[in-house]
Amino acid sequence: MQREFPEVPLIGVGAIIIENARVVLVKRAHPPLQAEWSIPGGVLEVGELVREAAVREAREETGLTVEPLELLGVYDRVLRDSQQRVQYHYVLIDFLCRRVAGELSASSDAAEVRWFTREELAGLNLAEDTMEVILKGLSKG
């Protein structure tokens, strides 16, 4: 699967993990969005259901076992290079999730992982649709 300059869009899943009016975010260790805070998630694997992928990605990146509760949204993420070529193209499917087990710890593609309050989100450089889905999750969680 070619993630950079793909021939077809890739399907990504995100886990909006809410607990005590806080959300889990990961600081990405690799491109795209390297060194930026984002929702735990990744690319759907062949034969995997989207909810299964959200559980797997949450566990791989945060150390938490989660239960997906509801679909919060489907978003387009198209990142272009300096010549306006499509460098990354994802269709992102984000689920509201609750922790069922585990302790927060960065692993896999995450350089860092932590809980954020609504107030702390304002200081982060999050994409508009990322902030939108997080706030939606916080309002339901």
Q: Tens digit of pLDDT for each residue in 59-113?
A: 999 999 999 999 999 999 999 999 999 999 999 999 999 999 999 998 877 789 9
Any catalytic annotation for residue 52? no
CATH architecture observed for domain 10-140: Alpha-Beta Complex (3.90)
CA atoms lying within 13 Å on the CB side of residue 81:
9
- Per domain, the residue ranges of the chain are 10-140
Write down the residue that tokens 């992982």 correspond to.
113
The Cα-based distances of 130 to 8, 16, 67, 84, 117 in angstroms read 22, 10, 20, 22, 15
From 4, 45, 70, 112, active-site residue: 112
CB atoms within 10 A of CB 71: 13
Q: Pick the more confident residue, 29 or 9.
A: 9
pTM of the model: 0.91
